[in-house]
Structure 1
Amino acid sequence: MIQAFLLGLVAAWGVFDYQLGTLYTFRPITIGPIVGLILGDLQSGITIGASLELLFMGAISVGAYIPPDVLIGGILGTAFAISSGKGVEAAVTLAMPIALVALTISNFIAAIIPVFLKIADDGAVEGNAKKIRFTHWLMGIFGCIEKFSLVFFAYWLGSDAVTALLGDIPEVITSGMAIAAGILPTLGFAMLMRMTLNKKIVPYYFLGFILTAYLKLPVLGVAILGIVIILEKFNFINRDAAKTSNSGKVEAINDEDF
């Protein structure tokens, strides 16, 4: 019971992380060791957290895409793997289905909660800042309670009960959610590119595609190459010389003016 309560507090903290400027402490690589400490196995928490971070690395919100619930999947996946003693394999097997189910529950709740936003709307019309602040805190606290409850009751019921619940979900639904999870990131990136893509960026987009698709260069290699191009493109290497050159041009222009 105490461990379930502490894990629930970790989930609540993950929601509160957004209020602190999004420090990304809700990611599995950070949450895993904390879960390991709570369950008395820090080493497994670090190992599993790092593995789940790789699994959820692409689970970020881009455009209109809402990723699987990384926070709930990371906490429960790590907790069930440690408590069952089955290690990283069990965590990877459980984390994504749990994250998808948690996302479905959150989306259902999110369709109801906006009803309370009318309080803030009325406060804005009336010029009553207290109603706006109340709604802000109400929405935040409700999010913490939601995540806390999901983690607390799931861990309290045990991994067997959660696994059985996931097994009772029709395959057509789980397959559909898995397909959607694969398609939606592409849609999100497409929407983002539609807003940012221009003639200057297009060549670099196709360069990255060629490097990964045809030359099989790892993502890390492409990222390093991108950093090199940025350093050269924006003249970070010879910035002092560029400043001297520009200052000389300015002086020349000023002399001509006089």
Structure 2
Amino acid sequence: MQIYQIILIALFVYLGSIGSIVGNTIGWYTLGRPLVASLAVGIIMGDVQTAVLVGIALQIMYMGNVTPGGAVAWDLSYATYIGVAGALVFGKGLDTTQVIGLAVVFAGIGGLIGQIMWNISYALNLPLNVVAHKYAKAGETKKMFVPNLVLGQLIGFACRFIPAVILLTSMTAASAQGDFASIIPGWVTTALGIFGGMMAALGMGIILSFLLKKKYHIAIFLIGFILVTYFNLSTMAVAVVAILAAVLYYVINSGLEAKKGETI
């Protein structure tokens, strides 16, 4: 992989993120989607056909990727661009199935790194609120673009572009040496896995904080958990049970309200 290819792919990793300079519509919801990302990587690396085939597989894998309440399980932009690039670098001479397998591995690495950088960028953006508040309090509204646009974009760019360049450069060096294992040391992979598990738990906590408004909602959540864990029901089966329970709750509650009205 040439240096200009590394820079272009890393730039797309930034542009395809939430809150990038091109906006969420063009960025996260377009450039950040696996099919579009794979096409971009394919054009940059000169192998559009293989890249798009890999992108289709990743699109199916990450089709359910959402960010409810700010919870990010995987960074889709990082996962896709790194995954496709890694598959093209190390997949020469392999069949399509093996190339897709490589893409999944690299997408997992990229997704974890992106997840970490997502949270780091959030933390680094917190002090910008103090700067913005200072300008607002002083009535200097013309300077508000500095923390909101300039500094915010610089943090977002640094947290995505720089790690992507380092990772892509490491992949290129490892490919030249023919050493797949040297891309990411074992202790780094273990650390990323542990941190990723912690972030998944944090994401679940954030989601539950939005969903559980009353104490009895915890019981409803635990019922769904038990149905999946101990009764081995699929997500669709649990969804059907939930719909039936909701209908019964509505009918019973409506009947009670009607009786109250008759009594009054």
Identity %: 18
5+ long unaligned stretches in structure 1: 236-241
Q: Do the aligned partners of 1:45 and 1:82 also contact (CA within 8 Å) in 2?
A: no
- Flag the 1:76–1:191 CA change in 2: closer, same or farther, 3 A: closer
Structure 2 portions without partners, runs of 5+? 43-47, 92-97
2:242 equivalent among 195, 202, 226: 226
1:74 aligns with 2:74: no
Please tell me whether residue 48 in structure 1 is matched to residue 27 in structure 2: no
1:35 maps onto 2:40 in alignment: no
**d(CA) in 1 for partners of 2:237, 2:219:** 18
Tell me which residue corresponds to 2:17: 14
* Correspondence 1:192-231 to 2 at 5 A: 193=208, 196=212, 198-231=214-247
Shift of 1:6: 5.8
SS in 1 for 2:182: helix
Q: Could you tell me how far apart the structure 2 residues matched to 1:26 and 1:231 are?
A: 38
Distance 2:181 2:110 in 1: 8
Q: How far apart are 1:89 and its partner, in Å?
A: 1.0
Residues 1:180 and 2:206 aligned together: no
1:123 deviation in Å? Answer: 0.4
Q: TM-score, normalized by length of structure 1?
A: 0.67
Distance 1:49 1:8, change over 3 A: farther
1:96 aligns with 2:108: yes
Q: How far, CA to CA, are the matches of 2:150 and 2:142 in structure 1? A: 12
How many residues align? The count is: 236
Higher relative contact order (CA 8 A, sep 6+): 1
The offset of 1:34, in angstroms, is 1.1
Match of 2:29 among 14, 25, 33: 25
CA distance in 1, matches of 2:197, 2:167: 26
1:90 maps to a residue whose letter is: L
User: For residues 122 and 215 of structure 2, what CA distance do their matches in structure 1 show?
Assistant: 39
Q: Please name the residue that 1:238 is paired with.
A: none
Q: CA deviation at 1:202?
A: 3.1
RMSD of equivalent CA atoms: 4.3
Compute the TM-score of the two structures, normalised by the length of structure 2.
0.66
